[in-house]
Amino acid sequence: MTADQQELALSDKIAATVQAYIDHLNGGTAEQIADLYADGATVEDPIGAPIRRTREELVEFYGIITNLDSRDATLKWTKIAGDTAVFEFTLVTGTAGMSFEITPVDIMVFDENGKIVSMRAVWEQSDLKQL
């Protein structure tokens, strides 16, 4: 396999993982989202927040979203270069009769198997809007 073919194969794996991430935000479990991450991966969401480093911390973090009454994630765009993807999505969540919307930009770095090794989310508290 040529370097260009390997690059394409990784790009395809990354695109599939990004789509699976959005799909699991919509209807998956916290465990399914955590399964997209490599062992030892880090999550900084949002940038500046304490970095989550263990599977247990990832499951706890994503459980906040997956345990809400409703959630709807829509991928807006994705850019992939080398081992990195940058993408924007809108997430609308609902609980206790209230709805919230946020549109973060995530920066993810992947290993050769298409597993996430690092995720940093670009957003700030003022980006979270009550609908």
State the catalytic residues: 21, 45
Tokens standing for residue 120? 């940093």
Question: What three-state secondary structure class fits 131?
Answer: coil
Backbone φ and ψ of 17, nearest 5°: -70, -40
Cα 70 to Cα 11: distance, rounded to the nearest angstrom:
31
- H or E segment to which residue 110 belongs: strand 105-110
